[in-house]
Amino acid sequence: MSNIRLFFSNTLSKNMIDKLDKSQSHYLTKVMRLKKNDIFSLFNKTGEWEAKILNITKDFVEFKSIKQLRQKENVQELWLAFSPIKSNYQNFMIQKATELGVSKFLPIIFDRTIVRKINKDRLEKIVIEACEQSNRISVPSIEEAQNLKSFLNSNSINLIFTDLNSDNKKIEKTKFSDEPICIIIGPEGDFSEHERQEILSFKGVQALKINDNILRSETAVISAISIINYVIN
C-alpha cells in the first residue's frame, strides 16, 4: 500500500465516495503522480482508512474508502502551553511538538512575551502536515491566545512547570491524575516572579528543571516533551 497519508476533515466510513479539495487533489496527481485506481490513505480523529482513486478531473480527485487501517488513538492527552515566539522558530517548535505527540497547543501571553499574535491558520497547516508525515491520526488543536490567569482558571490538568529556578529534575508519575498533562514553557525573558508564584500555587503542579543551561524556547519544548514521554511511557 502507498505510504501517502492525507488529513480528511469530513466523516470517513467504509465504501464512502467523496472528493478531495483542490490542493490535495493537485498534490496526489501532480506531485505524487498517482493515477486512477491507485491507493493512498486518509485519516482524522476517528481513525485511518485505505482509499482508492476513482476519478481524476482538472479540479478534484474522487475517491472511495475501502477499509479501515487503524482506529482512533486512545492515549493520555499531552498539552503544550507556550509563549508565542518569532514565526520561523515557532513553526519549527509546533512541527516537532506535533511529531512528539502534543494534542493541544495553548498560546499564553506572559508579562515578558514579545510576540503577542499568532497566525492560527498557518499553525493549523503545520500540525496537519506534521501528522501526515509522522504517522499520527489525531490532529492537535490550537487554542486562541489567552493570559496566564485565564489559562490557570479554566483548565483541569496535571501541570508541568519548566522552572529554571527549581532544583527538581524528576517527575513523579504517581502524582498524575487522569486529566491531561500540560507542559508550560515561559517567554524568552523567563517568567516574572509573580507568574512563578501563580503557577506554583496551581493544584497538582510539578516544577521541573529540564537543564542547567538556559534553553531557547523551541529547545526547551522538545526537551520537556521528551522527558514527559519517557516518564509516562
What's the confidence (pLDDT) of residue 2? Answer: 60
The yes-or-no verdict on residue 73 having pLDDT over 50 is yes
Name the phi and psi angles at 215, rounded to 5: -100, 150
- In order of 109, 128, 196, 200, the CA distances from 207 in angstroms are 20, 31, 10, 8
Place of cell 491507493: 39
**Cβ-Cβ contacts under 8 Å for 57 (sequence gap 6 or more):** none
DSSP alpha helix (H) spans, the chain? 22-26, 87-99, 120-134, 148-154, 193-200, 217-232
Q: Tell me how far apart the alpha carbons of residues 196 and 200 are, in angstroms, rounded to a whole number.
A: 6
Domains and CATH numbers, the chain: 5-71 (2.40.240.20), 78-232 (3.40.1280.10)
| Mean of pLDDT values over 108-113 | 96
pLDDT, residue 77, reads 92
Mean pLDDT of 138-153: 96
- Residues 6-40: tens digit of each pLDDT: 999 999 999 999 999 999 999 999 999 999 999 99
Weakest-pLDDT range from 39-43, 135-139, 143-147:
135-139
Q: Is residue 1 pLDDT above 70, yes or no?
A: no
